Structure formats: structure tokens, C-alpha cells
Amino acid sequence: MKKWFGLFVSLLLVVAMLFTFLCSAIPRKETTKEYRILLVQEEEKKEQTDPHMILILKEVQKKLDEWLKKLNDRIESEDITRFEVRFLEILRNILEWIKEKVDAKIESSEKAKPNKQEKGIFRETRRGILPLAKA
């Protein structure tokens, strides 16, 4: 009797899980719609770099300069082993590569600064309320 009861309960749970999955997968008709108007920037604006990003890149550039200076001082000191010197040189090469990429990004973004601020366009969006969200 007990093994049949366990089998019955597990079968009941599987059926309940399938029922909830199938009910959530069926699309329901939206009863209410909500309209909002959003101010959206034009597509051409996306290609230009944000001025805040330029400031962040300049701060990263300063920090990289500090790290490179500390690494060079550490490499030139005489109290480290050859293995440490090799490791620090590899680290310095990686930091120099990152610094070159940051410098190139700053230069390209400063050349392509926007001359005037473009205005956005109005777009209408629709959002329906889900039936489960009402409860």
C-alpha cells in the first residue's frame, strides 16, 4: 500500500508540474494596454563616444602610468631575483599594451567629438499588463 501511495503522489506532482508549464506557455489575450511616450536618441548618436567614458579612460590612463612607473622602479632595484624580473617585465608588457589601446581610444574619441547636441525623437511604446501580475 505504501509503495503505491508514493508512486501516486509522485505521479500527481508530475501532472501538476506539466499543467503549470502548459498553462504558462499558452499565450493569453491582453485585456488592458498602457501607452507611454519616451524620448529616444537617434541611431547616429550611438556611434559617438560618451564624454563620461572619455573621462574614465583618462583616469585609467593615469593609473596605468602610475603602475608602469612603480614596475620600472621595482625592476631597476637590485634586491629581486631574475625570476621576479622576468615576471615583472611580462606584467609591464601587458600594461603597456593596455595603455596603447586606451591611448588610441582616447585619441579617436577626441577627434570625433560631437559638434552639437542632437535632439531625440518621440516614440510611442505599448506595454500590456500580464494576468499573473494582477494578483
Instruction: Evaluate whether residue 109 is within a structural domain.
Output: yes
Nearest alpha-carbon partner for 104 in 73, 70, 61: 61
Instruction: Evaluate whether residue 26 is within a structural domain.
Output: no
Instruction: Evaluate whether residue 30 is within a structural domain.
Output: no
pTM above 0.85, yes or no: no
Instruction: Evaluate whether residue 29 is within a structural domain.
Output: no
The pLDDT tens digits of the residues spanning 37-61 come to 655 555 555 555 677 888 888 999 9
The pLDDT tens digits of the residues spanning 108-119 come to 888 876 555 445
Q: Which domain holds residue 77?
A: 35-134
Instruction: Evaluate whether residue 28 is within a structural domain.
Output: no
Instruction: Evaluate whether residue 25 is within a structural domain.
Output: no
Instruction: Evaluate whether residue 11 is within a structural domain.
Output: no
Q: Which pLDDT band, with edges at 50, 70 and 90, does 13 fall under?
A: confident
Count how many domains the chain has. 1
Instruction: Evaluate whether residue 7 is within a structural domain.
Output: no
Within 13 A of 108's CA, how many CA atoms are on the CB side? 9
What is the distance between the alpha carbons of residues 38 and 123, in angstroms, rounded to a whole number?
Answer: 6
Nearest alpha-carbon partner for 61 in 104, 23, 93: 104
Nearest alpha-carbon partner for 54 in 120, 111, 94: 111
Higher pLDDT, 21 or 25: 21
Indicate the SS3 state at residue 122: strand
